[in-house]
A and B are shown apart, each in its own frame.
Chain A
Amino acid sequence: MTDLSDVWVYLNASPLLFLTLTLAAFQAGGWVYTRSGHKPFLNPVLTAVVLVVALLTLSGTTYESYFEGAQFVHFLLGPATVALAIPLYRQFDRVKRSAAALLTSILCGSLTAIGSAVGLGWLLGASRETLLALAPKSVTAPVAMGITEQLGGLPSLTAVLVILTGILGAVVGPIVLNLLKVKDWRARGLALGTASHGIGTARALQVNELAGAFSGLAMGLNALATAILLPVLWRWFF
């Protein structure tokens, strides 16, 4: 007969357990979200993250051993980002028609994201490291981490703030947009993609393909705009 601890050692060493846990937690998150009648704060990503963190903490598992299994899901982020070309292509006629409006609003959003994050943090006495990590928080993680590093900040803190911003945007975004009575799918998509990158885009795609296409585009263009503007602005002000 096998000892239970042997089973645990085996499961801990193979990617199977944490891969399954990731999928199951997300399914549970989706179930809760549907059952609640699509309450924004019961966002499936948020529920799944809380569930997994709770289970890992209770079982004393480190993030590194969890990621051994979860990396297979994480890897698919790359191909999924490439695949955003498809909704963009399908909706490109509408993108072209509003090109000037779209570029202007992403630029305004990008400057608002940088300015308000750094401004609010500075007013409340945040340290230089914190400000450097807050500045690119609306940009997709690899770019944001690169910008922070280039300016002498902490990329790991940036990664945390980027993910939190993404989840926050997906949760409060629809509420803010409804309060403002923004009904245009293009505007809703652009706002989610500019403020909360891929997680916002995932949220937009769940609702509408037009919103998803604009959101994915906004994510890419905001990354580009922030990567160019932020180092210049930072050296100007600090």
Chain B
Amino acid sequence: MLSALTLILACQLAGELTTRFLGLPVPGPVAGMMILFAFLALKGSVPDDIGAVADTLLKNLALLFVPAGVGVMAHLSLLGQDLMPISVALIGSTVLTIAVTAAVMARLARASAGEEGAIKDD
């Protein structure tokens, strides 16, 4: 458990250092995810303790966004000036992005690999 947590933190640290030194346009933790993935691929399996720590963190992933979400409160005045365009752009663009991404993937995936990811065949 402790060694799994250490490995995850070490991957994040390595990711932060890599992105900073190479000036990569991805955040450190995302680079850390790739490093941990490479480690798992080399090992050929997910050790039980790492799986357990990761599952616990990810089961509660939504909770981790609460402090940042509350941060909106400190900056609400920034929204004031352009409230109308911001609301329409946020809602419209989020709905469109979800629709386009899902529609393209559903079509392409059906054309190539078949229905293996489907909940049920239609």
Contacts and interface: CB of A to CB of B under 8 A. Distances in A.
13 contacts: A49-B66, A71-B67, A78-B32, A102-B105, A105-B105, A109-B97, A120-B85, A126-B86, A160-B72, A173-B94, A173-B98, A182-B102, A187-B105
Contacts of B119: 183-185
Nearest to A22: B66
B65 A202 contact: yes
Contact of B33 (A88, A163, A218): A88
A176 B98 contact: yes
A121 B92 CA distance: 10
Contacts of A173: 94, 98
Interface SS, B side: helix
B111 to A, nearest CB: 8
Interface in A68-106: 70-71, 73-74, 76-90, 92, 94, 97-98, 100-102, 104-106
B98 A195 contact: yes
A23 interface: yes
A32 interface: no
A113 B106 contact: no
Contacts of A52: 66, 70
A9 interface: no
Interface string B29-63: 11011111100110000100011011101110111
A74 B73 contact: no
A165 interface: yes
B2 interface: no
B100 A63 contact: no
A109 B34 CA distance: 22
A183 to B, nearest CB: 4
Contact of A101 (B40, B96, B105): B105
A160 B71 contact: yes
Contacts of B29: 77-79, 81-82
